[in-house]
Amino acid sequence: MKNIIKSLLAPACLLAVLPFMASCETDTDSNPTLQKPTSFVLNTPAYADNNVYDLANSESVNFTTTQPDYGYPAITVYEVQVSVDSKFAEVTTLDVPENIAYTTLANTYTTANMDVDATELNNAIVALYQAAHDGADPSGIPMSAYVRLLAHVNGVSDSYCCSNVIELKNVVVSYIAVLPENVYVAGPSIRGGSEPKELGAVYGVEGEWYGMVYMSEGSSLKYGDASAQTTVPNTVDDQANSGATATDDGVTFANAGWYALHLKVLIEDNSMRSTLTVYPGAAYVCGIICGPGADGTGVWDDPNTAWALTVPTDASGEWVSPAFAGSGELRAYIKIPGLDWWRTEFTIYNGGLYWRDADIAQSWAENVGAAYSVTCNPGQQLHVNFDYDTAEVK
């Protein structure tokens, strides 16, 4: 009898319970509300006061934190910020005053227990120290470093908050020469002196970059990364009768004109050495847009003077190609003597020059993407502003 009663009651009970369960799920789980915390705690490592952090000879530095309270468990991304300025310890908001130098490391972490790459931390501290001490080598000098975390929920822009700042009192770093990831040149005749200009990386060759610049008489340039261009090449090889020489002010050009730059950087005995070769400015188009050619596949001579872009007389002028003879994809390049044309090739992407960075066995369209492929028709021409690296086909 009891079993019969249980079986009869069970469906009714389930019917009564199900709406309640659905209601609870709707109210508490389906639409959690993001709370925006104002801070969270980065723990000072237990032995930070007595431990020596020899970063160049370590794999990682362990940091732990309490996750910011977002009101519900959320995938949190942590960015590591470091400074050698003691004023950084006073920063309690997301906004860091401009007079406090700090670096946000490139690697990010998604757990509250993180092993931060020691080499990345070492290189950041070296760069900060050198910027504050006129390039002096900090290798082997014990110093304090200040660290904080910046946290946010992945994909939620309004979720950023910062931790407290902790001090690592005994940090030892070593200068480790590494090839730059990006190279920029800057000078009073480049983009009106208003901003640096990025060079293209020579495709398939490590430690080499190239670009086209207009240099006015007596003007100079230096190179560096996006944040600062303060480096003068160790050697200047003038192949363009430019009168380019290395001085304390940079590479100074005695003669005005358009020049193609080829920068080579290498590491020797943990020191970075660089050579800048200056060539006459020259750019070309090639391929099927130049006509079928003898074998019907296009004109691929490197270089073919018949398909050179005209050189303007000043920085604001346009480089213009001859009118295209065939229909097809744009193929164009800056000519650097000694390099295959395809190592210094460019296309047009969103109105700007895009330097080749992929293997193109067939075409930009097939091997890189349709957005990077420019279709040309007979009679059209390529117009390039090499000062600002913009271009169009018309």
Q: Which residue has the tokens 């082997």?
A: 140
Q: Tell me the helix, strand and coil percentages in the chain, rounded to 5.
A: 20, 35, 45
Q: What are phi and psi of 192, to 5 degrees?
A: 65, 15
Among 182, 179, 264, residue whose Cα is nearest residue 227? 182
The pTM of the full predicted model, rounded to 2 decimals, is 0.70
pLDDT of residue 166: 95
CA 252 to CA 11: how far, in whole Å?
90
Mean residue pLDDT of the chain comes to 90
Q: How far apart are CA 60 and CA 75, in angstroms?
A: 23
Task: At 106, give phi and psi (nearest 5°).
Answer: -70, -40
Q: What is the pLDDT of residues 257-289, one digit of tens each?
A: 999 999 999 998 888 899 999 999 999 999 999
Structure tokens, 36: 């925006």
State the pLDDT confidence band at 187, using cuts at 50, 70 and 90: very high
Q: In which band, very low, low, confident or very high, does the pLDDT at 110 lie, cut at 50, 70 and 90?
A: very high
